Amino acid sequence: MAEHGREYLMIRPEFFEVVYAINPWMNPSVPASSELAVRQWIRLRSIVEDIGHTVHCADPVPGLPDLVYTANAGFVVNGKALVARFAHAERAPEEDLHAAWFQRLGLDVQRATQVNEGEGDFQFAGSRLVAAYGQRTSRAAVDEVAAWSGLPVVGLELVDPRFYHLDTALAVLAPADDAADIAYYPPAFSPGSRSALRELYPDAIIATAAEAGVLGLNVLADGRHVVMTDAAPTLAAQFRERGYDVIGVEFSELLKGGGSVKCCMLELRR
Ligand code: ARG
């Protein structure tokens, strides 16, 4: 099973809490339960394993509440890892840990020199990468990833602080296909990037404000399954109509940090 599956890095939200606000979802005065976050996360991990993937878990660290969002650890392709360089000081101490974990996983590790929040802002979409800049990842990082990976990269500009990473505003449902099947929320992007998306992906699913507003686009998709929050039923129905096997999860706690399913996974492409 695992040999056809993908590999992901996850970190248990043992020390999850909302004690600072670096995105509009985070409100330190709203209580968040790390116990409930752990339960919801364990359920997610077992679903990912049940559908045939391998999960590698790194250790949680006290004082780093956002470590659970491993999508931001870096970007991994062809056995090479480009370690993130975080936009906010609160997450900067994660960088050395991620570099060490990538090393332990046997990856060829390099550090990003530009502000770059990893797979949160970079996704495979068919034969190219789509990348987002304008909120966290810098414009210069898009060029750095293109040079580092040797892959064509389409840069898209994010303009709404609520949709501060690409994976909050755009989902690639069938990443391995030549013509990627995607879903996105147009108002998160600049007018120019919206027209680029329309042209590149004319058949894309368009998410509503309500469904994007619960991070319904922040899904784990492997071309066959879509694992996502149970709070976006319309989007889930649209995914089912396209033939995907949709698995809903309750993900209330980690949403309080501004993330959903996809934010908690980093794909390790060997
Ligand atoms: N609190 C985290 C931050 O603001 C959430 C990261 C969510 N990750 C993601 N890939 N969208 O950095």
For every residue of 12-32, DSSP letters joined together read: --TT----S-SSTT--TTS--
257 ligand 1 Cβ < 6 A: yes
Cβ proximity of 266 and 74 under 8 Å: yes
Indicate the top mutation candidate among 9, 11, 25, 66 to test ligand 1's pocket, ranked by most ligand atoms within 8 A of CB: 66
d(CA 27, CA 88) in angstroms, rounded, equals 16
72 ligand 1 Cβ < 6 A: yes
Distance 263 CA to ligand 1 centre (A): 6
pLDDT 10s digit of each residue in the chain, 270 long? 334 699 999 999 999 999 999 999 999 999 999 999 999 999 999 999 999 999 999 999 999 999 999 999 999 999 999 999 999 999 999 999 999 999 999 999 999 999 999 999 999 987 899 999 999 999 999 999 999 999 999 999 999 999 999 999 999 998 655 568 999 999 999 999 999 999 999 999 999 999 999 999 999 999 999 999 999 999 999 999 999 999 999 999 999 999 999 999 999 999
d(CA 195, CA 29) in angstroms, rounded, equals 39
Among the listed residues 96, 70, 91, 87, the one whose alpha carbon sits nearest the alpha carbon of residue 19: 91
For the entire predicted model, the pTM comes to 0.96
d(CA 60, CA 69) in angstroms, rounded, equals 11
Residue entry with tokens 């939200």? 13
Q: Which amino acid is at 19?
A: V
263 is catalytic: yes
Which pLDDT tens digit goes with each residue over 12-36? Answer: 999 999 999 999 999 999 999 999 9
Residue 215 CA: nearest ligand 1 atom is 11
